[in-house]
Amino acid sequence: MQAGVAREALRGLTADLGWWRRWWLALRFSWQEKPLYLIITLVLVMTLIAAPWAVNWSDVIAFRESWAEGNLDETLLPAGISFAVVYFAGKYFLSFHKLFESPLINEWKRYLSLPDYDACLGTIPVMKRQVDALCRLRLGTGKSRAEQKRLLFVVDDLDRCSHTGVVKTLEAVRLILGIPHVTVIIAIDQRIALASLALHYKELAPHHSLRDPANIARDYLGKVIQLPVQLPVADRETVVSFVDQVLFNEDEQSSQALKPGDVDAESLQSGNGGKETVSEDTQKETAERNEQITQNTAARESSQSPADKPQVIETVEYQFSPSEKEVFKRRIREFGFHNPRQLKRLYNSFNLLRHLKGSDQAGDHMLVLFWLEYLNNLPIDQRKAARKGEVWELVQNHFHQDETRYAAIEREVLPFVLPSLDQAVQQQNESNASVM
């Protein structure tokens, strides 16, 4: 599995390179991995190239003339001596090389050098080191920002694998996590991911401090995913819009793509010889349907409150303001978070919310984000009691007991919270109820 991840990463790094740039990349990669072997190879190549110019061709001509005249004693004797010198030198070198391969020399070398266990680790550390080196070469690590690039690695359709395949893929993706300028997007149904991990750690749960496979699964997923984004279930209006604008639009485009001489199956069955005839009633019905869609869209937009409408944020500073930093630190103390990965995930989620909602509107979103993270991190049997504790009272006091306002903020924040297993099941039940 790790080999497949490394292969796809290599393809992404070299897909746009020609043969010359591939060769140059291989040369730079060899210089980083084994510079000594590259130097020896270049010296040998340069020696072979320079050999014809280093030969004294007058001596070669004189040797050929002496050979033609039959002066064997003047030609064979120096040649034989030279051959003997080369032969014994090579034989001596091989014997000398075998001497260094003896067990005694290996024992001395072990005490005179630092230990090296690379040969015992297998191929995965080698792949990780090589992929990291190639990414640094191709993505311009250490160069100016204008010269730097980014590799986007997408893992899609993971929920179609078995539960063991899901776990192995998540473990394999960690091969390229942490490499600078490499972004990994894992597209998976959170219900499948959490259920697969819960099933994988089922036997470990009785011996774990959480004693809950669902919480262990969420804790593991939080170590892999640094910025969770959940896609909400499509409502009825979105489905209708998709059917009208995508499915029906494709049918219209395919019908318009027919050439004047083409005859499709429906025209043959109707016997019109491939000529398309549209009645006035059909045209009128199509116009009425398009007008109805436009009216529904306008009514839906007008019925939305200003808080529900998408807002265009002109500029939001990437860095937190001093007040946002203080509030962020205070929320960490209030909710008792201390896991570095968890704090990094909350930082990423809140920073994305700042860019979506605006930094001046992110105070409520930060509190709800921390509350949902706190709630999902608890065991399932303790979550009902948490809604009666001090932390929930803190949230209620912030919203002044306004449940409608809290529910609106929760709907906006929920897609950016790392889900829990029972939350995924609850979302599925709600989607089934809405369809029914």
Per-residue pLDDT at 372: 93
Burial of 124 (0-12, 13-18, 19+ CB in 10 A): middle
Q: Which amino acid is at 119?
A: A
Maximum average pLDDT range among 24-33, 125-134, 292-301: 125-134
Q: What is the DSSP letter of 243?
A: I
Are the beta carbons of 412 and 366 closer than 8 angstroms?
Answer: no
Encode pLDDT of 301-329 as tens digits: 555 555 444 454 455 566 777 888 888 88
Burial of 386 (0-12, 13-18, 19+ CB in 10 A): middle
pTM value? 0.58
Are the beta carbons of 214 and 420 closer than 8 angstroms?
Answer: yes
How many other β-carbons are positioned within 10 Å of the β-carbon of residue 201?
Answer: 20
What confidence tier does 294 reach under pLDDT thresholds 50, 70, 90?
A: low
What confidence tier does 266 reach under pLDDT thresholds 50, 70, 90?
A: very low
**Positive/negative CA dihedral, 35, 38, 40, 43:** negative
Residue whose token pair is 């030279």: 82
405 half-sphere exposure, CB direction, 13 A CA radius: 11
Task: Find the helix or strand (DSSP H, E) in which 100 lies.
Answer: helix 72-100
Q: Across residues 85-94, what is the average pLDDT?
A: 69
Task: Measure the CA–CA gap between 411 and 405, rounded to whole angstroms.
Answer: 10
Q: Which two tokens stand for residue 71?
A: 């002066």
Task: Measure the CA–CA gap between 415 and 424, rounded to whole angstroms.
Answer: 11
Residue-by-residue DSSP string for 274-303 = T-----HHHHHHHHHHHHHHHHHHHHHHHH
Per-residue pLDDT at 47: 80
Q: Is 115 helix (H, G, I), strand (E, B) or coil?
A: coil
